[in-house]
Amino acid sequence: MRKALVVLAVIAGLFVLVGISLVVWGTRTYNHFVALEQRVDQAWSDVENVYQRRLDLIPNLVETVKGVAGFEKETYTAVAEARAQAGAVRITPEMLRDPQALARFDQAQGALSSALSRLLVTVERYPDLKANQNFLDLQAQLEGTENRIAVARKRFNEAVREYNTAIRRVPARLIAGLAGFESRAFFAASPGAETAPKVEF
């Protein structure tokens, strides 16, 4: 009888240890997912920040161009319209689970990039404008911002990859499923992005 009680106590102790280990593992796994999810959200915030920087620079660029050159109205009108459309498309952290929402955001930003490219190509016809220090400063800031956008998008995709990988690994996938952690969408190259745009006037 005494041996049976000892065996039962040992088995009960093992169950308690396994239970505690599972709770500790589940808590650590959940907290790891939370940290990764926060990293994705922070990376998205960085992406939005650099896109907003670009949106803020554009009016100054357009006004400088308009002030120095008798500039083609349709060129800066196209930039202003593309800027308004790009500024209107907002993505919340919840929408980062929707690849179509991210594609709509990217499409609006691509239209703005295209309009800016046309503006900068048109500037080539105006030597006075190319020598204007305000324009040169704004152009340099815009180029720097475009580089920042590329870096922020890359970091966002890295954060998404790390998060998506973590929530899909077994056995952690069980915790992710129970806690409602869902995959996030990546930034993907727009169709035709491998081909340089042709700007014609």
10-residue mean pLDDT profile of the chain (201 residues): values are 80 85 89 93 90 85 68 73 85 81 85 82 70 77 88 94 94 91 82 47 34
Which residues touch 20 (CB under 8 Å, ≥6 apart)?
none
Distinct helix (H) and strand (E) counts, the chain: 6, 0
Element at 157 (helix H, strand E): helix 133-168
Look at residue 180 and give its three-state secondary structure: coil
Residue 185 lies in a domain: no
Q: What's the pLDDT score for residue 200?
A: 42
In a domain, 199, yes or no: no
CATH number at 130 reads 1.20.1440.20
Write out the two tokens for 164.
């998506």
Q: What is the pLDDT of residue 106?
A: 86
Q: How many domains does the chain have?
A: 1
Q: Which DSSP letter does residue 185 get? A: P
73-88 and 99-123 helices, crossing angle to 10°: 160
Q: What is the domain extent for residue 131?
A: 2-179
What pLDDT does residue 199 have?
39
41, two tokens = 């959200």
